[in-house]
Amino acid sequence: MAEIIYMPKLSDTMTEGVVADWLKKVGDTVASGELLAEIETDKATMEFESFYDGILLHIGVEKGQGAPVNSVLAIIGEKGEDVQAILANATPGRDSAVVTAPSQPEEAKTEVFAAPAPSPAPVEVAPVQNSVSSSNGSNDGRVMASPLAKKLAEDKGIDISQVAGTGENGRVVKRDVDHFVPYTPAASRPAYVSSAPSGTESYTEVPNSQMRKAIAKTLSASKFSAPHFYLKMEVDMDNAITSRAAINAQEGVKVSFNDIVIKAVAVALRRHPKVNADWMGESIRYNNHIHVGVAVAVEDGLVVPVVKFADTKGIAQLGDEIKDLASRARDKKIKPEEMQGGTFAVSNLGMYGIEDFTSIINPPNGCILSVGQIKSTPVVKNGEIVPGNVMKLSLSCDHRVVDGAIGSAFLKTLKELLENPVTMLI
């Protein structure tokens, strides 16, 4: 008996999926548990396996096409079954009232514009001498010009006798001075005579992926609905540098500064539970567990894998888990549940040389921490200027959830933990 496979909902926010690739073709034998296709969701590209044994009789969504959740994705059954009859009796899932086959996404396109034709070379014109006359019509060396034109020429350093008049009886008026171009002898002119641009204008337009659409929708909603405010603080990282060197001196251990930051964040959240909160619309949820989302750049945009129960794990263990999550996120092998449930998020751009920035809160979280690079700079210690290593932190807060005093207290504790890493053990 044939089985209809519908487009699965692979994430909590997914409304449609795009088939990135089919791993089987019509007529192939499929076993339960075998990979059937790769489906691009709003969060990642996921491998989708079959739940049935049989022959792949029909593909409802071609490679590169998208379809709503619960649309007909494929049919698996026995050879010779009437596919059209099965499709005619197919019942769309509850999330999709009508089964449609979306059109092929628009391919990337390039448009080219011809450069404008060069302007004709300027024609050399000899300077025009104004006629001069007296009030009775005889030439006496005076220039016929309006008082405003004379004043304007004087301000611009223009010899008004060189300006051709277009007013009544050759009178020089304001517009003549405004448009006057001094005569330049040919021998003193530069070799070029035209500034027309050369080359060809072009661009490449690429359709938005499901991930980019989700990023645009989610972060736009966050930025425009959540009243963001920002708290910033500098941290002395000298002791953190020393501590990291000591940790990495241990055989088989390799931690990053980001791992130390994540550990400090988890400890600080335990001490300031009101920051570990979510905006739920009609209520604020204060989470007793600490799940820290770590922003990871991938090919199509940004994903936020979540380190669960981060406060219960050591720095080395956090480092291993973050590396694994980030690696699988970039390879599109991460599971949807590994990107859900975060109670706080951290975005670190220090490795790109960014010193200071602010992030948009990942809803429903109340806060996100932005981490800059560690910069060697002169600092004042004990009244003396000495070399130092400073890192800037910026806490973005949703004012509906976290007030300034609460966010400031959290950031102060985080600073103390990073400046004295041994206190994380207390």
- Indicate if the pLDDT at residue 164 is higher than 90: no
- Whether residues 267 and 363 fall in one domain: yes
Residue 249 corresponds to which tokens in the numbers above?
């001196």
Nearest to 48 by CA among 12, 13, 91, 19: 19
The predicted model gives 139-156 an average pLDDT of: 77
Would you state the pLDDT for residue 95? 38
Domain of residue 69, residue span: 3-88
8 Å CB contact between 369 and 394: yes
| C-alpha to C-alpha distances, 229 to 220, 223, 292, nearest whole angstrom | 16, 11, 20
- Whether residues 273 and 413 fall in one domain: yes
- Indicate if the pLDDT at residue 90 is higher than 50: yes
161-165, 243-247, 408-412: lowest mean pLDDT where?
161-165
Would you state the pLDDT for residue 79? 86
Q: For tokens 């390879």, what's the residue?
A: 331
- Whether residues 179 and 323 fall in one domain: no
Would you state the pLDDT for residue 188? 54
Choose the most confident range, by mean pLDDT, from 81-95, 102-116, 212-226, 349-363.
Answer: 349-363
Res. 51 pLDDT band, cuts 50 70 90: confident
- 283-325: pLDDT as tens digits: 999 999 999 999 999 887 889 999 999 999 999 999 999 999 9
Would you state the pLDDT for residue 152? 83
What is the rounded distance in angstroms from the CA atom of residue 86 to the CA atom of residue 283? Answer: 47
Would you state the pLDDT for residue 107? 46
Q: Does residue 201 fall inside a structural domain?
A: no
- Whether residues 191 and 214 fall in one domain: no
- Whether residues 231 and 143 fall in one domain: no
Which are the contacts of 99, defined by CB distance < 8 A and separation ≥ 6? Answer: 71, 72, 90, 92
Contacts 24+ apart (CB under 8 A), 251-259: 253/316, 254/319, 255/315, 255/316, 255/318, 255/319, 256/319, 257/350, 257/374, 257/391, 258/294, 258/322, 258/346, 258/348, 258/350, 258/371, 259/315, 259/316, 259/318, 259/319, 259/322
Would you state the pLDDT for residue 125? 41
- Whether residues 178 and 224 fall in one domain: no
Q: Does residue 351 fall inside a structural domain?
A: yes
Q: Does residue 120 fall inside a structural domain?
A: no
Average pLDDT, the chain: 84
8 Å CB contact between 388 and 379: yes
Would you state the pLDDT for residue 128? 41
Q: List beta partners, residue 313.
A: none
Would you state the pLDDT for residue 402? 97
Q: For tokens 């499709």, what's the residue?
A: 87
88-92, 161-165, 187-191, 306-310: lowest mean pLDDT where?
187-191
Q: Does residue 93 fall inside a structural domain?
A: no
What is the rounded distance in angstroms from the CA atom of residue 205 to the CA atom of residue 268? Answer: 44
Which are the contacts of 25, defined by CB distance < 8 A and separation ≥ 6? Answer: 56, 59
- Whether residues 414 and 371 fall in one domain: yes
Q: Does residue 152 fall inside a structural domain?
A: yes
> Where is pLDDT greater, at 142 or 391?
391
- Whether residues 29 and 168 fall in one domain: no
Q: What percentage of the chain carries pLDDT values higher than 90?
A: 46
Q: Does residue 31 fall inside a structural domain?
A: yes
- Whether residues 182 and 222 fall in one domain: no
What is the set of active-site residues? Answer: 399
What is the rounded distance in angstroms from the CA atom of residue 401 to the CA atom of residue 274? Answer: 8
Q: Does residue 51 fall inside a structural domain?
A: yes
> Where is pLDDT greater, at 377 or 157?
377
Q: Does residue 272 fall inside a structural domain?
A: yes
8 Å CB contact between 48 and 8: yes
- Indicate if the pLDDT at residue 267 is higher than 60: yes
- Whether residues 141 and 289 fall in one domain: no
Other Cβ atoms less than 10 A from the Cβ of 407: the count is: 24
> Where is pLDDT greater, at 181 or 125?
181
Would you state the pLDDT for residue 130? 45
Would you state the pLDDT for residue 140? 52
What is the rounded distance in angstroms from the CA atom of residue 42 to the CA atom of residue 40? Answer: 7
Last residue within a domain, chosen from 61, 88, 115: 88
CATH of the domain at 305: 3.30.559.10
156-160, 285-289, 418-422: lowest mean pLDDT where?
156-160
Q: What is the Rg, in whole angstroms, of the alpha carbon atoms belonging to the chain?
A: 35
Q: For tokens 């096409």, what's the residue?
A: 65
Q: For tokens 């600490």, what's the residue?
A: 290
8 Å CB contact between 286 and 351: no
8 Å CB contact between 58 and 74: yes
The predicted model gives 49-59 an average pLDDT of: 89
- Whether residues 147 and 230 fall in one domain: no
Evaluate if pTM is beyond 0.75: no
- Indicate if the pLDDT at residue 412 is higher than 90: yes
- Indicate if the pLDDT at residue 171 is higher than 50: yes
The predicted model gives 10-21 an average pLDDT of: 83
Nearest 5 degrees, angle CA 178-CA 181-CA 182? 125
- Whether residues 371 and 333 fall in one domain: yes
For the chain, how many structural domains are there in total? 3
Res. 92 pLDDT band, cuts 50 70 90: low
Residue 92 corresponds to which tokens in the numbers above?
């769309």
Q: For tokens 């992926």, what's the residue?
A: 209
Which are the contacts of 275, defined by CB distance < 8 A and separation ≥ 6? Answer: 268, 269, 344, 366, 367, 402, 406, 407, 410
